[in-house]
Chains A and B, each alone.
Chain A
């Protein structure tokens, strides 16, 4: 099964509203990343939060990480129609050797921002 699972699977909001997407994962991680994918395009990196960080901001994006609950959230404030896309969380699980494995992507949240 996927290491990261996003919730909800789909979200529809009005322009100007805030959008919150959640990600849960199963194993200990080195870091967690969020990516955006516009229809028919490749994924674009948004933000990386390390396991020792609790919150990170980038423009209208706010990411939180709760390692005790193995969960993360992505908040997009003052959403715009251009934010319409799929959003994926990706985790870098830590191996027993202590090194971080390659990224494992969740199934994504489809965000629709209505003008």
Chain B
């Protein structure tokens, strides 16, 4: 298995531009998570999906952030408009769902390093 695939690996954009991050989870996994990692705030959960349905988006910082999962093998995280403070590494992870979200290990993608100038 190729693992969780994220693209692009690096993104540099100017303030105000739209940014779209992509994720392909591991086949057979039915939970998908988007995280953001910064030195100041550590690893933060932004949103997660079960069976393609968003369950908890309370971690999404603002309305500028949106996430979709149109099918079991693809998800996007969009930032529009982007701001310098959005600069971070964004990780996608997937897992089996089981009886509770924390019951299974999560498999992380390599991340997308976003720089907004």
Q: Does B101 contact A (CB under 8 A)?
A: yes
Partner of A102, one of B43, B56, B108: B56
Cβ–Cβ < 8 Å partners of B107 in chain A: 45
| A102 contacts across to B, CB distance below 8 A | 33, 45, 48, 56, 101-102
Interface residues as binary, A70-107 with B (CB distance below 8 Å gives 1, 0 otherwise): 00000000000000000010111100000111111111
- Write the A31-49 contact mask toward B (1 if CB under 8 angstroms, else 0): 1010000000111110010
The distance from the CB of B103 to the nearest CB of chain A, in whole angstroms, is 6
Please, how many residues of chain A have a CB less than 8 angstroms from a CB on the other chain? 26
Whether the pair A100, B33 counts as a contact (CB closer than 8 A) is: no
**In the complex, chain A residues whose CB is within 8 Å of the CB of B109:** 42
Is B105 located at the chain interface by the 8 A CB criterion?
Answer: yes
- In the complex, the answer to whether B102 meets A41 with C-beta atoms within 8 Å is no
Q: What residues on A are CB-neighbors of B91 within 8 Å?
A: 42-43
Indicate if the CB atoms of A43 and B42 lie closer than 8 Å: no
Q: Is the CB of B108 within 8 A of A101?
A: no
**Cβ-defined contact, B102 with A91, below 8 A:** yes
**Bound complex: CA A2 to CA B93 (Å):** 19
Residues of B within 8 A of A48 (CB): 105
B61 at the A interface (CB under 8 A): no
Q: Contact at A92–B100, with CB atoms within 8 Å? A: yes
In the complex, how many angstroms separate the beta carbon of A94 from the nearest chain B beta carbon?
8
- Using A43-B91, A45-B107, A92-B101 as known contacts, list a sample of 17 further A-B pairs with CB atoms less than 8 Å apart, ordered by residue number in A: A2-B42, A31-B103, A33-B102, A41-B111, A42-B4, A42-B91, A42-B93, A45-B106, A91-B102, A92-B100, A100-B99, A100-B101, A100-B102, A102-B101, A102-B102, A103-B45, A103-B106
